[in-house]
A and B are shown apart, each in its own frame.
Chain A
Amino acid sequence: MKLIHVVFALLLVVAGITIFVLTSEPPLNAAGIASDSIKGVSLGGDGAARLSTIGDAPLYFQIAVILLAVCLLMMGVNPKRRDTLFKGLMAGAGAFALFAWIMLYTSYQDYLATGQTDIVAGFPVPTNWFFWGVWGSFVVFNMIYVVFFNRYFLHPDDEKTFQDLVAELKTEKGGA
């Protein structure tokens, strides 16, 4: 199966979950409640009630989106250069992104169930997973880009081939 088929399948999964959510009867405060006393401010209210009709749809939605993002990123590397190390790096970084997301989601579920959370480095635990986990896990992909730039993203052979192509096209233009 080619990567594009996986991308297409994942897009259909995302679309399927979205349709399920859109057709679920939204609870009263699904997208927040306007504050009575403060203009322009909304409150979240009962977070658990907001998920009552869609259950864990957001969890699966984001898992599909992360997998989709990893597959799309892999498409950016020439198929003949996608060696075992590259696939391992992408799988590892993808697994880290999924881990960060699942930690965010489960710690948020814990908060909804108990109403309690610890504050670490100034913010609640789920929010730390959000700031540093969700953002940081994709920084790993950026680090792969920087560290393995010449191996996967601009191989010296590819650069040479491109320069040859430019020279060839210039010669053709000059001849014409």
Chain B
Amino acid sequence: MEAMRQEIILGCVFIYLLLCIGVGLWAMRRTKSAGDFFVAGRGLGPVVISLAVFSSTLSGFGFVGGPGLVYATGLSSVWMAVCSALGFATGYYLISKRIRMIAEVRDTMSMPDVVFARYGSETARLLTAATIILGVLGYLATQILAMALVLQSILSATDMLADISLLACVVISSAVLIFYCVTGGIIASVYTDLVQGIVMIISGALVVITAYSVFGGGFTEVSSILLEKDGEDIMPFGTLGSMASLSWYFLFGLGLAGQPHVASKMMMNRKLSDNRVVLPMTIFGYVIAAMLWVSVGVVMRALVLGDVALPLGAPDEAAPAFLSTYAHPLLAGIVFAGLFAAIMSTADSFLNIGAAAIIHDIPKAIRGKSLNNELFWARASTVGLAVFAAAIALYSGDLVAILGAFGWGTFAAALVPVILIGLNWKQASAKAAIVSISISLLINFVIQLYGIKVPYGISTGFLAMLTSMILFIGISLLEKPKKLPYDIDRIMDL
């Protein structure tokens, strides 16, 4: 079986891609309106929602970037994963009920719709849509690039496609993504998320077992090697130190609920009472899949620092190198498919919310109504957005890295105060929402654009989020409370 390793990996990935195309075709028959395209007609069950929420949260970053970061900096980045219990708690305590209720009474399709319903401000809606487009472009470009790089690494290992170009890999992987997103919209997206979530859970569990058996002494031997060679890396704050780690905990823990691709899924469930089941299932799935992040990272670091393996060319090679060297060919195949799953499940969510911002939210904010024939334009803008993001991924040089880093922090800093606090505090004002979104964008952009290094490795997204939260509450407290629309006022009493 070892001799057939590349063929097995390729076969697993091929089957997975075919499955995505099949789901797209199936979902096309169920997508009859823009409401179906963007929020699945608010008719999804708890299993689909929970797997969609966790798989779109744990993107390709968790499967490639995460192990790479642990290899490079020890456990510092694991604060981004350990905070998931807080992140999902804030999401379900603070927004899941109200966002779903607002979706039902106002027929909202997107986060900017919810912001408009809450604040009655077209400017706030426009700024939210602009934030989403900026964040989506960065995130989507990095996901497409990651998808193409993984495909290139698989195909170039075969004799027939040894010289395949990155452009060809971008075209192949984007074509599958675009196909199922255009044909089936969010229905295809969440049902592929279901498949992707299951693949990610299986991959996570199997990889931990494999990682455990790399050293005869299991993780105890891994820890002993790392304690001897450095020590700080296997301690809770890793090599980046305590303030860098804790700033990530703040940003990722309190910021998860502000991620539009996660929060918008909370509008799609059939029944409010499903949330009781969705929350634990989401956490379970996330934890199992995230174990890959930690286990592969620490094992690869121990192998290299312990002089058992040669240093990697780059930290992001940690997961692929581990799979190609230590995993059974069939497991490697499943995990590579899981890797595609992780990337695609996030990318399809971004395509969906980005398309909604372009054809639904911005026209509504500017001319007071959405476009005619929204479903057609939703499909057209999905293609346009994917092609534009692919072009950024291929030709923008450093811009893709800047936009990618900009993603999570942008969403968290701009949307957490407006959504998380705003849906639970009646005095929150439109002016505060506008100022906090604008300032958070400004801080994030200036720091990223000018490459400003923050002392102690403190996250720039954290600084932007903290500032926007303080401004949001401070400005709202200074203003006189305004009367809310009747329906929103009643919902906020529940």
Contact = CB atoms under 8 A, between A and B. Distances in A.
B241 A62 contact: no
B470 interface: yes
B73 A32 contact: yes
Contacts of B283: 139, 142
For this complex, into which size category does the number of interface residues on chain A fall? 35 or more
B168 interface: no
A141 B424 CA distance: 18
A166 B101 CA distance: 9
B220 interface: yes
Given A135-B84, A154-B272, A58 B304 contact: no
B455 to A, nearest CB: 5
Nearest to A26: B455
Q: Describe B's contact surface by its main secondary structure.
A: helix
Question: Which of B92, B219, B237 gathers most chain A CB within 10 Å?
Answer: B237
B171 interface: no
A41 B457 contact: no
A119 B224 contact: yes
B458 interface: yes
B82 A72 contact: no
A113 interface: no
Contacts of B78: 130-131
Contacts of A67: none
Interface stretch (B8-16, B35-43, B124-132, B226-234): B226-234
For this complex, into which size category does the number of interface residues on chain B fall? 35 or more
Contacts of B90: 69, 72-73, 76
B72 A41 contact: yes
B213 to A, nearest CB: 12
Contacts of A45: 230, 232, 239
A38 B82 contact: no
A51 B279 CA distance: 37
B97 A153 contact: yes
A9 B117 CA distance: 28
B239 A18 contact: no
Contacts of A165: 105, 487, 490-491
A11 B457 contact: no
Interface in A1-60: 4, 7-8, 11-12, 14-15, 18, 21-22, 24, 26, 30-33, 37-45, 47, 50-51, 54, 57-58
Contacts of A137: 85
Interface in B273-294: 273, 275-276, 279-280, 283, 287
B456 A31 contact: yes
Interface stretch (B141-149, B309-317, B330-338): B309-317
Contact of A141 (B71, B89, B241, B254): B89
Contacts of B490: 161, 165
A117 B228 CA distance: 12
Given A4-B473, A62-B246, A65-B250, A119 B220 contact: yes
A21 B239 CA distance: 18
Contact of B253 (A8, A69, A111, A127): A69
Contacts of A119: 220, 223-224, 227
Contacts of B493: 78
B223 A122 contact: yes
A96 interface: no
Nearest to A9: B473
A166 B254 contact: no
Contacts of A124: 223, 227, 234-235
Given A78-B494, A119-B224, A154-B272, A47 B219 contact: no
B326 interface: no
Given A123-B219, A169-B487, A21 B72 contact: no
A149 B218 CA distance: 40
B202 interface: no
A118 B112 CA distance: 51
Interface string B231-275: 111111111111110100110011000000000000000001101
B64 interface: no
A58 B84 CA distance: 20
B254 A69 contact: yes
A75 B94 contact: yes
Contacts of B244: 31
Contacts of B236: 104, 108, 126-127, 129-130
A138 B85 contact: yes
A23 B156 CA distance: 49
Contacts of B363: none
A74 B118 CA distance: 20
B220 A122 contact: yes
Given A4-B425, A76-B94, A166-B105, A26 B82 contact: no
B88 interface: yes
A174 B425 CA distance: 31
Question: Which of A26, A111, A142 gathers most chain B CB within 10 Å?
Answer: A142
A18 B243 CA distance: 9
A12 B470 contact: yes
Contacts of B469: 11
Given A26-B455, A32-B240, A130 B466 contact: no
Contacts of B427: 4
B246 A65 contact: yes
Contacts of B311: 37-39, 41
A11 B477 CA distance: 14
A162 B98 CA distance: 10
Contacts of A159: 272-273
10 contacts: A4-B425, A30-B241, A40-B72, A108-B236, A135-B287, A138-B85, A149-B273, A162-B491, A165-B491, A166-B104
Given A7-B421, A14-B466, A124-B227, 17 more contacts: A22-B455, A31-B456, A32-B238, A38-B305, A40-B72, A42-B240, A44-B231, A44-B235, A72-B94, A73-B90, A75-B424, A77-B93, A78-B494, A136-B85, A141-B93, A145-B279, A153-B92
The 8 closest A-B pairs by CB, nearest first: A44-B232, A122-B219, A31-B457, A76-B93, A138-B85, A32-B239, A130-B236, A58-B242
